[in-house]
Amino acid sequence: MTLVEALGLLAGGLYMLVRTLVDGGDVTSGVTGGVTVIALGLIPLAAARGLWTQRSWSRGPAVITQILALPVAWQMLQTDGVIPYGIVLAALAVTGLVLLVNPATTEALGIRRPGQGA
């Protein structure tokens, strides 16, 4: 889930950059927005890599990414033309959260639950 979101952010940022350069709109805003979205895509990309290699630190950024995706999905659900994308994003975020807090995931990442001995 996290990798899909990261790839979506990276693609969206690249699209913003290309669209700004091709259409010749406000270059400063377009480039700043595109670079910002690409930078934001690097966080879930790093988290996805960490989850793939079973690094315990990766769950935090992955959970934060899923939580931040929920209000974005909500806004998309309120906007005509992007409602299907909002549904997909909401489904990815909720599924990602459920999987990330799953006890099997916690165990696989080597995260000890509160009260567990050292």
pLDDT of residue 117: 62
What's the whole-number mean pLDDT along residues 100-108?
92
Q: At what angle do helices 2-23 and 59-77 cross, to 10 degrees?
A: 60
Residue 116 has pLDDT above 90, yes or no: no
Nearest to 93 by CA among 61, 74, 75, 69: 69
pLDDT band of residue 75 (cuts 50, 70, 90) is very high
Question: Which pTM does this prediction carry?
Answer: 0.81
Q: How far apart are the first and last CA of the chain?
A: 31
Q: What is the mean pLDDT of the chain?
A: 90
pLDDT of residue 112: 81
Burial of residue 112 (CB within 10 Å: 0-12, 13-18, 19+) is exposed
CA-to-CA separations, 24 to 5, 42, 72, in angstroms, rounded:
28, 26, 27
Tell me the residue type at 52.
W
Residue 111 has pLDDT above 80, yes or no: yes
Higher pLDDT, 87 or 113: 87
| Pure H helices in the chain | 2-23, 27-52, 59-77, 83-100, 103-108
Q: List pLDDT tens digits, range 13-60.
A: 999 999 998 987 788 888 999 999 999 999 999 999 999 999 999 999
